Structure 1
Amino acid sequence: MMEMASAAALMRDLRRGVRAPVQVRRADRERYATDFGGLHACTPRIVVHAADEAEVSLVLRLARAADIPVAVRGSGHSFAGNALSPGILLCTTGGAPRWSLRGDGVVQVDAGARWGDWIPALHARGRTLPALSGLASATAGGTIATGGFGSGSPRAGAVTDHVRRLRLVTPDGAARWCSPDESAELFRFVCAGQGRLGVVTTAEFSTVTRPSIYRLRVQPLREAEELRNVAAWLASRGDDVPEFFFAEVGSAGGRAAFGTPVQTQAGSVLPAATLPSSGEMAILPPDALADFRPPREPVGVMSALRHVWCDYCLPLATADAFLAEVADGVRSGSLAAGLARIYLLYLGAPGAAVAAYDPRGGAEPGPRIGVGVYHTLPASDPAAVEHARWLHRGLLERCIALGGRPYLAGAHEIDPALESRIYGHDARRLAQLRAALDPDGLFGPSL
């Protein structure tokens, strides 16, 4: 416990060094007591909004000097308590997003910028990221921490595949550039590593010309069993997968959408990928394909719902076995209670330098079928919430047995032993890096 004199000195230094008001009133702090999932609760002692890298660095140095825990929060759209802290909660969002597009097509952006606050302006310049998160309220830094997949991932892979370099502030407050060529090991663990080595303050991404017209085929889906046929068709295509794909099934049915760009902003025709032979065909502008999904309620305030949302990433050869078990669970009723939807993505193969915790990694890196199983349940029924969490623990074990990995953005419950089993040497190396950068264990949560 901090002595009163030390606490007073910490507050004085924070207020001197940070432009935004430091929040200590209980009513203000309780707004940050949980995340979107609502499965964990922890009211921070102090909430600080950092406007730039200098303020991030200051807060981390002061937290270390005061021996007080600190965690980082972007939009709070997490499920496993990653954005919660009993000490200082360092928030990186707020204000107008700062970004710039260079002549070489590289865009630099504040990592605390939400995608929906600046991507439309980038699109207006005729450029886009090859892969985008499907969540407009997520921040660039939060997406880097998880990998970032969306409907454009069949060909483009993860958002992190297109990070040229990033600016990292480590728990001691020191800042450095990281890339495949500079502080390469840190870069490998920061991308898709759940932000456990520091705070990303700036990121640079490759961009591409934004298509102006898409050819889209949409197939209606009636039940979860039909997702197996969709996944099998994708797995059979080899490199000839559509540029755009997602599928989802809920209690009222669903759809699978396959798309390919056919024209650029300049009017040139693009070679088109093969699309399925059945379903409704349409020609659409890219804005009609946007799958940005903002949170359904304010993030932070305890809501009446609990979201047990987990994503599983399976090799193409074993995805059908996993989907068969999910479909059987829906049909038998064991998975049905509170099941909001099942979501399917195709995750294109990673590049040569695979991030340590990338869900497409492992013994045989390659493309994956991403399967999202999303339960939303009333907070008033804790037994049902716990049952859903138990079901997902079983699904995770089955995913691992089939050679898959979890996508760490979800509500997965992974203790150190399970983390070591999934990630092997990389888990041990990450623990060593964390111990070196944060010897007192004050920064951020574990998985």
Structure 2
Amino acid sequence: MSQQPSRRAALRGLAVAGAVVAGFDPGTRSWAVSGDRPFAGVPDLDGTLLTDPASRAAVADDYGHIVHRTPAAVLRPGSVSDVVAMVRFCNRHGIEVAPRGQGHTTLGQAQLAGGLVVETEPLAAVGAVDTVRSTVTVGGGARWSNVAKATLADGLTPPVFTDYLELSVGGTLSAGGIGGQAHRYGAQVDNVVALEVVTGAGELVHCSPRRHADLFRAVLSGLGQCAIIVGATLRLVPAPSTVRHYVLPYADLRTYLEDQRVLAEDERFDYVEGQVTADAAGVFGEGFVEAVAYGNPVDDGRLLHGLRYDPAGARITDLPYYDFLDRIAPAVAQLKESGLWYWAHPWLNLLLPGARTEEIATEILSSLTPDDLGPGLVLLYPLRRERLTAAPLLRVPDDPVPYLFAILRTTPPDDTAKIERLLTANREAYDLALSAGGHRYPIDSLSFTVSDWRRHFGPVWGELAAARHRYDPRGVLGAGQGIFI
């Protein structure tokens, strides 16, 4: 979705902090101000190229607060044309580029040392809803919260949301976008009609399952290796006005998992997630299935039939639909106020084969202490493999009902020894899952080598590598992931 230029720079170069950026010095890997010649000229831009220390430092961090890489400059685009111009410029000079949405990565995936970070947040327009086709076209930097608010005005909604709504559309589509509705509708990448992207070669391309299909497949869950998402056309479904929200407690892991599997397979609920706890000895403490039925009235007897939860601890609440979608907003505000939002987050996200989930989760939980988890949580909930079909780069176990197992640790950022120990534990847990046919959901804090990535993508590695060669032949994109380095 192209955005109209907001303004055109009057000078050849860009006013930044009282100086004029004249070009990039390949020798020093830095931008130079006017008077320092010779340099290739920076293109005219509608937005701003920032080289001041504060702007560069602001993007040398992410939600993980573990990795810190400082770029040479930050592009705050005023238009999609700015992204095209600067990616082409970076190609000429061999400068690496990383798009950054809301910076919610946890191990520096959107950071670069000495390169150009492209902030996509200014590309946040939400177009008019097409009520005939039930679609909406939005900018890659649009937040899902704003997309939801806009589409609800027409009684429609994207079918799948991550739990945290303040993420960018381009960011979650680059990873996959898994949420509690995925057992019914697939991931967010399964609900994309078309994309507008800037390739690593600096070409603006519209792609879809029928147009430049190889690029479309390489971008969805492609971790930014071939193109930057600057726009997306999303599928919409009718939105409910209210929902009924169930929190159902379980005393043992096997029953918890078996009931979740039933709910995933019969699709009686529109949303299914859940959390588990472990005591100090690593023994399963309690599980809470979180399930939501859209609409009102609903039949509690039918929805809860056959489930083996503890009725004494069950909670059932009716909520407006958007309040349900944005239900963690108060908790996020508390985390920011307390400062815990700015602690380190050495997260681990695994996709486990359903047949082995109890075994693997039990072993990993056995070494998870309350101190290591901190004020974090552990998510464990089912998906449906047959619903996850549109994005082959989203690697899912070969099991009809795989489970997302996410250990969302929170720990003081200055305890580097503990962070390193938890990162090591992440690798050990991943290796265990891999041996059982599991995969990583790569939004977490897990260092991968190129050989790890080749194994991760497995049968689709060749397709990704071919798309990379075709659409980013100089390899300027996605260095923070370490996939092709």
Aligned position for 1:410: 444
- Change in Cα spacing, 1:51 to 1:293, as seen in structure 2 (3 Å) is farther
The Cα of 1:434 is off from its aligned counterpart by: 1.7
User: CA, structure 1 residues 350+177, in 2 after alignment: closer, same or farther (shift >3 Å)?
Assistant: farther
Cα deviation 1:273-319 (Å, max 9, x = unaligned):
55636423333332342256566778xx9986211112111122111
1-side partners of 2:103 and 2:209: how far apart? Answer: 28
Q: Aligned ranges for residues 17-56 of structure 1 at < 5 Å?
A: 17=45, 19-56=46-83
1:85-124 alignment, distance < 5 Å: 85=112, 86-94=114-122, 97-102=125-130, 103-124=132-153
Match of 1:68 among 58, 70, 95: 95
Partner AA of 1:260 in structure 2: A
Question: How much has 1:176 moved relative to structure 2?
Answer: 1.6
Taking the aligned partners of 2:39 and 2:178, their CA distance within structure 1 comes to 39
Shift, 1:147, TM fit: 0.7
2:266 corresponds in structure 1 to 240
Matches within 5 A, 1:146-295: 146-220=175-249, 226-237=252-263, 239-241=265-267, 242-249=269-276, 255-263=288-296, 276=307, 278=311, 279-291=314-326, 293=328
| Paired residue type of 2:471 | L
Amino acid at match of 2:385: A
Alpha-carbon contact 1:243-1:273 (below 8 Å) kept: no
Q: Are 2:372 and 1:345 aligned?
A: no
- Structure 2 CA distance, aligned partners of 1:302 and 1:334? 16
SS in 2 for 1:82: coil
Matched, 1:355 2:355: no
Relative to structure 1, the CA distance from residue 219 to residue 392 in structure 2 (aligned partners, 3 Å threshold; closer, same or farther) is: same
1:29 is displaced (CA, Å) by 1.2
Q: Distance in 1 between matches of 2:272 and 2:372?
A: 25
**CA distance change for structure 1 residues 315 and 43 in 2, over 3 Å: closer, same or farther?**
same
Aligned to 1:136: 165
Whether contact under 8 Å (1:359, 1:404) holds in the other structure is: no
Are the structure 2 counterparts of residues 96 and 194 from structure 1 closer, same or farther at C-alpha, using a change threshold of 3 Å?
closer
Contact 1:57 1:173 in 2 (8 A): yes
Task: Pick one of 306, 314, 321 that aligns with 2:359.
Answer: 321
Distance 1:2 1:303, change over 3 A: farther
Q: Tell me how far 1:257 sits from its aligned partner.
A: 1.5
**Contact persistence 1:98–1:110 (CA under 8 A):** yes
Distance 2:454 2:123 in 1: 39
Spell out, residue by residue over 1:124-147, the C-alpha distance to the aligned partner (whole angstroms, 9 max, x if none).
321111111222221000010111
Amino acid of the structure 2 residue aligned with 1:192? S
* Distance in 2 between residues matched to 1:254 and 1:425, nearest whole Å: 35
CA contact (8 A) 2:181 2:270 kept: yes
Rounded to whole Å, the distance in 1 between the matches of 2:239 and 2:39 is 48
Alpha carbons 1:115, 1:138 under 8 Å: kept: yes
Which residue of structure 1 lines up, in the alignment, with residue 4 of structure 2?
Answer: none
Q: 1:122: how far off?
A: 1.5
Deviations 1:408-447 (A, max 9, x none): 1111222111122222232233223223333332222224
Answering whether residue 430 of structure 2 is matched by residue 396 of structure 1, we say yes
Q: Which amino acid aligns with 2:324?
A: L
Percent identical residues: 24
Q: Which stretch of structure 1 is more off in the superposition, 235-244 or 160-169?
A: 235-244
Structure 1 window deviating more from structure 2 (351-360 vs 301-310): it is 301-310
For 1:239 and 1:254, how far apart are their aligned partners in 2? 20
Higher alpha-carbon deviation: 310-319 or 423-432: 423-432
Between Structure 1 and Structure 2, whose CA radius of gyration is higher? 2
Task: Say how many residue pairs are matched.
Answer: 433
After TM superposition, the score normalised by the length of structure 2 is 0.81
Change (3 A) 1:51 1:167: same
1:107–1:415 CA distance, 2 compared to 1 (3 A) = same
Q: Structure 1 residues 293, 281: closer, same or farther in 2, change over 3 A?
A: closer
> Which residue of the partner structure matches residue 385 of structure 1?
419
Shift of residue 44 of structure 1? 1.0
**TM-score, structure 1 as length reference:** 0.87
Partner of 1:421: 455
Query: Structure 1: any 5+ residue segments left out of the alignment?
Result: none
Give the secondary-structure state (helix, strand or coil) at the position aligned to 1:308. Answer: coil
Are the structure 2 counterparts of residues 251 and 121 from structure 1 closer, same or farther at C-alpha, using a change threshold of 3 Å?
A: farther
Q: Do the aligned residues in 1 keep the contact of 2:253 with 2:287 (CA within 8 Å)?
A: no
State the Cα RMSD in Å.
3.1
- Greater alpha carbon shift after TM alignment, 105-114 vs 279-288: 279-288
Instruction: Tell me by how many angstroms 1:11 deviates.
Output: 8.4
Structure 1 position 394, deviation (Å): 0.8
The secondary structure found in structure 1 opposite 2:347 is strand
Q: In the TM superposition, what whole-angstrom CA distance separates every residue of 1:232-279 from its partner, at most 9, and x where no partner exists?
A: 21224562132112222468977321122244xxx999x975563642
What amino acid is the match of 2:86?
Answer: V
SS in 2 for 1:378: coil
Contact 1:304–1:380 (8 Å) recurs in 2: no
Q: Secondary structure at the match of 2:409?
A: strand
Q: Distance in 2 between matches of 1:268 and 1:260?
A: 7
Q: After the TM superposition, which of the residue ranges 56-65 and 413-422 deviates more from structure 2?
A: 413-422
Q: Which amino acid in the other structure matches residue 293 of structure 2?
A: T
**Is 170-179 or 96-105 further displaced after alignment?**
96-105
Counterpart of 1:316 in structure 2: which amino acid?
Answer: G
Matched, 1:376 2:402: no
Amino acid at match of 1:40: V
